[in-house]
């Protein structure tokens, strides 16, 4: 059995779907604070909070957990800057509990959601895994601490791990069953598409005085289905006992500015998307573009949807069909 924490979230749910599609036995651990029960598509759920050690231990009791994919985390750069304590508890304490429970249960394999935010302001583009990791926001720091914990638990207890350093996850399940639904939504692409739908008056562009060609921040967007596939490859490589690196980047090697994303979304949706320039958001590096060359070479990764247009198209299909996301706002309460 594969334990998927955060399996009801955006990246987790797409990965759970891919795992089950190939017949894996999956258990999802999620507190549903940000994830959605509907996104499980019927996968079994053990609801709880990974900060609670008794709950974490219970996940391993009476089951043979062969491997863990750890998505559960908080992922808002902006909030992480004002609530560092919360971010350390959510992202560091939870992983520590998980690793101690794995150690005690004898589970030796984990795939970890790390982030390009661990690089901070990079010296070179595209970013390779060898680039120094100096995060400039708390979210990135918590992910870097996670990588270090995995390394230390690997050395001491033989737990094998692969950290996947994602660039910007975007897009939706091409079958239309799953998509992106955060509350509050802070990510660029869903906000732009909500503006296209008329659910938002306009989009704010956070800063147009960055040292980039059009002055807006550049990011590397990667399709959610490609990200999900990379987790399966990482899991398989460890299962097969292949030699693997400690970490792999997952980007498309292609950067798009915020202004370019808005412009491409106007084309894809055929709708006007009003945009206005707003102040910079603290913690945003000007340019993040990643090279996936290592995972391509070592694990055979290949992106199915590398183009921004395709990413936006699948996301647009989801947003049009689900203007209120999974529609569970009322039942979710204050979690
Ligand atoms: N961004 C923006 N307006 C928004 C939301 C995001 O200009 O309403 C910018 C943000 O400053 C960053 C880029 O879009 O440069 C991507 O931000 P997002 O929050 O989607 O992902 P992040 O890069 O923080 O993981």
Nearest C-alpha neighbor of 224 from the set 257, 266, 289, 175: 175
77 lines ligand 1 (CB under 6 A): yes
Q: Which of 10, 76, 87, 139 is catalytic?
A: 139
Measured CA angle at 187 (ends 77, 287), to 5 deg: 65
What lies within 8 Å, CB to CB, of 10 at 6+ separation is 169, 180, 181, 182, 224
188 lines ligand 1 (CB under 6 A): yes
pLDDT of residue 148: 98
pLDDT of residue 184: 87
- How far apart are the CA of 155 and the centre of ligand 1, in A? 36
Strands 256-257 and 45-47: unpaired
| DSSP H/E element including 88 | helix 84-88
Q: For residues 186 and 203, is the Cβ–Cβ distance under 8 A?
A: no
Neighbour tally for 271: CB within 10 Å: 14
Task: Tell me how far apart the terminal alpha carbons of the chain are, to the nearest angstrom.
Answer: 28
Nearest C-alpha neighbor of 288 from the set 259, 253, 261, 315: 253
Residues of the chain with pLDDT under 70: 330-335
- How far apart are the CA of 121 and the centre of ligand 1, in A? 15
- Residue 301 a catalytic site member: no
pLDDT of residue 332: 63
Whole-structure pTM value: 0.96
Taking all residues of the chain, what is their mean pLDDT, rounded to a whole number?
A: 96
* Residue having the nearest C-alpha atom to atom 12 of ligand 1: 217
């Amino acid at each position: 059995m594969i334990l998927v924490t955060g399996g009801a979230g955006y990246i987790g749910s797409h990965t759970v779907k891919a795992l089950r599609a190939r017949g894996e036995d999956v258990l999802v651990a999620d507190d549903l604070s940000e994830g959605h029960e509907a996104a499980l598509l019927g996968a079994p759920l053990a609801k709880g909070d990974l900060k609670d050690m008794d709950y974490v231990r219970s996940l391993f009791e009476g089951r043979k957990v062969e491997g863990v994919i750890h998505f559960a985390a908080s992922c808002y750069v902006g909030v992480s800057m004002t609530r560092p304590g919360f971010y350390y508890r959510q992202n560091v304490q939870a992983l520590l509990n998980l690793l101690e429970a794995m150690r005690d249960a004898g589970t030796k394999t984990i795939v970890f959601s790390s982030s390009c935010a661990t690089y901070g302001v990079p010296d070179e583009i595209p970013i390779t895994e060898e680039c120094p990791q100096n995060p400039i926001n708390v979210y990135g720091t918590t992910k870097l601490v996670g990588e270090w914990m995995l390394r230390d638990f690997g050395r001491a207890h033989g737990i094998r791990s692969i950290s996947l350093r994602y660039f910007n996850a975007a897009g939706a399940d091409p079958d239309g069953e799953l998509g992106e639904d955060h509350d509050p939504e802070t990510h660029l692409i869903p906000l732009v598409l909500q503006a296209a739908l008329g659910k938002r008056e306009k989009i704010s562009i956070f800063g147009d005085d960055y040292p980039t060609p059009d002055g807006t921040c550049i990011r590397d967007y990667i399709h959610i289905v490609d990200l999900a596939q990379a987790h399966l490859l990482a899991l398989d490589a460890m299962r097969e006992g292949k030699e693997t690196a400690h970490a792999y980047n997952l980007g498309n090697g292609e950067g798009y500015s915020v202004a370019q994303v808005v412009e491409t979304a106007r084309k894809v949706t055929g709708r006007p998307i009003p945009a206005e320039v707003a102040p910079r958001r603290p913690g945003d590096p000007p340019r993040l573009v990643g090279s996936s060359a290592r995972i391509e070479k070592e694990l055979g990764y290949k992106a199915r949807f590398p183009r921004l247009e395709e990413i936006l198209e699948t996301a647009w299909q989801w947003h049009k069909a689900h203007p209120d996301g999974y529609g569970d706002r009322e039942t979710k309460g204050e979690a």
